[in-house]
Structure 1
Amino acid sequence: MEKLSKAAIFAIVALVIVLIVIFKSSVVIEAGQAGVLFKPFGEGVEKDATYGEGFHIIAPWNDMIIFPVRQLSKSDKMRVLSVNGLEVTVDATVWYQPEYDRLPYLYQEKGINYEDNILEPAISAAARSVVGRYTPEQLYSSKRDVIQSEILEEARKELESQYVQVNRVLVKDVTLPPKIKEAIERKLKQEQEALEYEFRLTKASKEAERQKIDAEGKAVANQILSASLTDKILTEKGIEATLKLAESPNSKVIVVGGGENGGLPIILGNQ
């Protein structure tokens, strides 16, 4: 009985050890994640392999460091200076992800908190570099799309050898000092009013020119018509009109006038 008890205790201890080994040796990497294997009794970080999603068995003394590798986003409000030294606040969001195949190098050189160590400083440096090229008026009005593209380009340059891929940068807002913003809005309003006034003047000038051309055309037409209306033509037209009127049932008497050319007929009669 005593031997059975010792055997049972030994079996239980062995089972516990096996369970611990299995527990320590099994790793499940979830969807959108990847792992880097660290061997404390070997070469340290295993640089030749990035472990993908699924179930993995490793030696119980090794560690699997798991990173999210799907696209991530980070938002920040950065205070930067414009080209003339005025402080502006840029509210931006960056979409990024670690480079899958180089994940072991990212862990070894930058650590698990690589966002704080390299990503944020790179985005901040890119924003300072880009915003420093523009005036507050440009930042406030029409340069936001250009700023986004340039910050993205600068950030990629900063991170191209840092094992992090930047996919997109969105500038949600550019906040200027209140007095500068008010001055810019007044200036933009005045420019808009000036453009509207210039448009009205141009429209009025074009209308006056159109009326002038129309009047000149009518004058020329009248001159041509007057030159073509001889006495003979007028008499002929008058006779044609008289004949048409004579055909009317209300016409009673036709009097033919005298004169050198005979004059035009006159019709007398009741309605």
Structure 2
Amino acid sequence: MSKYQSPKMSVNINAAKGVVIGIIILIIIGVVATASVKIVEAGHRGVLLHWNAVDLTQPPLEEGLHFVVPFQDEVVNIEVRTLKYANDARSASRDLQTVETTVTVNYHPDKESVHTLYKNLGLDYEDRVIQPAIEETVKQVTARYNAEELITKRPLVKDDIESSIRDRLNQFNVVTEVISITDFEFSPLFAQAIESKVEAEQNALKAENDLRRIEVEARQREANAIGLANANIAEAKGEAEAIAIINKALSENPNYLEWLKTQAWDGKLPLVVGEGGTPFIQIPVNP
């Protein structure tokens, strides 16, 4: 102790040093505690890094609080919820028609393999994997079909694109959920040509249906005419046979006509006609 320092001042300096040292210790403890506690956010998985190297022996960390070795370990959060990526793809059909379409992919990283995904691709795997997969797949698939088939066989083309994209992304531990493809768009001139062709086919089909309808109606009218003619012939034959029978009966029996008159009488009272004051009875002949 210096001869110029009083005992009281010496005590104050020591106390101040103790306070400073205590604060430093608390700061160090706080820093160490902060570095040793990592939080994996909801909807994410954590990739554990040892000195910035991915630990593939350690499975991805679940959501919540985790304790790690401070200053040595780090945790990278990777979202594993459903994500959306949309991309406009331009390609050419087999007959060299320019085709434009929009492909939308709903996907998520494989929850059990996010550490491998991060090690191989990092966090910008959309630009490294998904975009090239969509563009290359659309070009490869559309090149197998001509422009008209891309319209008439759209479900088949869509299935080919979906299966190809799914297979490519699965190799990189990216799971596809839904793949949506909008209508294929062509140049205005080609679209007009396709529309004209479809309209011509529809008109031809309508004309063919009209012709069939006319043929059916003609056959129906013919059948009706034949049926009516046969009915008239049958009626005429029936009347001729009836006349022949009556003539034969008259030739064999002259009283047959009088018998017919009695059969035709409707049972009404006799009609009295006076001529010269002499009444007589007239039986109606007409039925």
Q: 1:208 to 1:55 in 2, by over 3 A?
A: same
User: In structure 2, what is the Cα distance between the partners aligned to 1:175 and 1:250?
Assistant: 97
2:135 matched to 1:106?
Answer: no
2:29 matched to 1:18?
Answer: yes
Relative to the length of structure 2, the TM-score reads 0.78
From 159, 162, 176, give the equivalent of 1:166: 176
Amino acid corresponding to residue 56 of structure 2 in structure 1: K
2:286 matched to 1:266?
Answer: yes
Shift of 1:64: 0.9
Shift of 1:144: 2.8
Greater Rg, structure 1 or structure 2?
Answer: 2
Aligned to 1:47: 56
1:38-67 superposed Cα distances (whole Å, 9 cap, x missing partner): 1117xx211131111111122222211111
Q: 1:227 to 1:111 in 2, by over 3 A?
A: same
User: In structure 1, what is the Cα distance between the partners aligned to 2:48 and 2:262?
Assistant: 114
2:190 matched to 1:211?
Answer: no
Relative to the length of structure 1, the TM-score reads 0.83
Q: How does 1:11-160 map to 2 (within 5 A)?
A: 11-40=22-51, 44-48=53-57, 49-61=59-71, 62-139=73-150, 141-160=151-170
Q: 1:228 to 1:266 in 2, by over 3 A?
A: closer
Amino acid corresponding to residue 100 of structure 2 in structure 1: T
Q: 1:214 to 1:266 in 2, by over 3 A?
A: closer
Shift of 1:222: 3.3
Secondary structure at the counterpart of residue 90 of structure 1? strand
User: In structure 1, what is the Cα distance between the partners aligned to 2:163 and 2:193?
Assistant: 31
Aligned length: 253
Amino acid corresponding to residue 142 of structure 1 in structure 2: T
Shift of 1:5: 1.7
Q: How does 1:224-235 map to 2 (within 5 A)?
A: 224-229=234-239, 230-231=241-242
User: In structure 2, what is the Cα distance between the partners aligned to 1:241 and 1:120?
Assistant: 104
Amino acid corresponding to residue 60 of structure 1 in structure 2: P
Unaligned stretches of 5+ residues in structure 1: 257-264
1:103-141 superposed Cα distances (whole Å, 9 cap, x missing partner): 1111111221111111111121111111112222222x3
**Percent identity between the aligned chains?**
26
Secondary structure at the counterpart of residue 96 of structure 2? coil
Secondary structure at the counterpart of residue 85 of structure 1? coil
Shift of 1:217: 2.4
Is the 1:50–1:101 contact (alpha carbons within 8 Å) kept by the matching residues of 2? yes
Secondary structure at the counterpart of residue 163 of structure 2? helix
User: In structure 2, what is the Cα distance between the partners aligned to 1:150 and 1:250?
Assistant: 99
Q: 1:172 to 1:241 in 2, by over 3 A?
A: farther
Secondary structure at the counterpart of residue 133 of structure 1? coil
Shift of 1:208: 1.1
Is the 1:37–1:64 contact (alpha carbons within 8 Å) kept by the matching residues of 2? yes
From 186, 196, 208, give the equivalent of 1:198: 208
1:153-187 superposed Cα distances (whole Å, 9 cap, x missing partner): 11122233221112221112321011111111111
Stretches (4+) displaced over 4 A? 232-236, 238-241, 247-256
User: In structure 2, what is the Cα distance between the partners aligned to 1:219 and 1:183?
Assistant: 54
